[in-house]
Amino acid sequence: MSIALSLGNNLTTGGIFKPTAVNNTSVNNVTDFASVAGSSTLVLLSTQTASASANISFTTGIDSTYDEYIFKFINMYPASPGIFTFNMSTDGGSTYAVTKTSTFFYSRQNESGSPAEINYEAGYDLAQSTSYQNLTDSLGTNSDDSCSGYLHLFAPSSNTYVKHFLATVNNTYSIESFIAGYGNTTSAINAVDFKFSSGNTDDGIIKMYGVAKS
């Protein structure tokens, strides 16, 4: 009732908001509404730019502060044709060999319009493997070859549950890859590494975000 009266007091007889309706309190209420509606806040934690880099590793900032981490990669470009991959670590990046089980499928459409298809790529999934997880099909080194996308890692600091991840990546052709899986460990994940299967990453940016708990 009080909310309805407050709203009514700020409207003209024609149903238009009065100038006095917009003030610091009303603006703050609109801002607060986002959290009430369930919107999450991304906190940028780290940015790394590749330049003939063998690996792009995030070895700090992955802890219990956040329940979800998002890695956004922008125009990752290989030095030689290869597949963009990632792995996780439980020892701060000394080793990247977490056991993983995953699935991988893609949709694709090339510039000529053929083939246009959706496929499950059995050769790119993992079944209790410590290998790096493929995030793309093979990329070339033409001027328009690169990949962009994002990886979600959930509750990496849990000492109870396995570590779920989801990724969507697009590379030139256009091939959009969809990857999902889990690191089969109850130890905390505290580092993540990205690299191309063929060698160095010549160019690209990776940003790591934490998703605020509230």
How is the chain split into domains, by residue range? 2-36, 42-211
In the numeric block, which tokens belong to residue 132? 């790096």
Q: What is the pLDDT along the chain (214 residues), one digit of tens a residue?
A: 444 455 456 666 655 556 666 565 554 554 444 444 445 699 999 999 999 999 999 999 999 999 999 999 999 999 999 999 999 999 999 999 999 999 999 999 988 888 899 999 999 999 999 999 999 999 999 988 999 999 999 999 999 999 999 999 999 889 999 999 999 999 999 999 999 999 999 999 999 999 988 6
Token pair 């993983």: residue: 100
d(CA 192, CA 159): 17
Distance CA 67, CA 211 (A): 7
Helices and strands, number each (H, E), in the chain: 2, 12
CATH architecture of 42-211: Sandwich (2.60)
In this prediction the pTM is 0.81
Contacts 24+ apart (CB under 8 A), 107-111: 107/175, 107/176, 108/137, 108/173, 108/174, 108/175, 108/176, 109/173, 109/174, 110/173, 110/174, 111/173
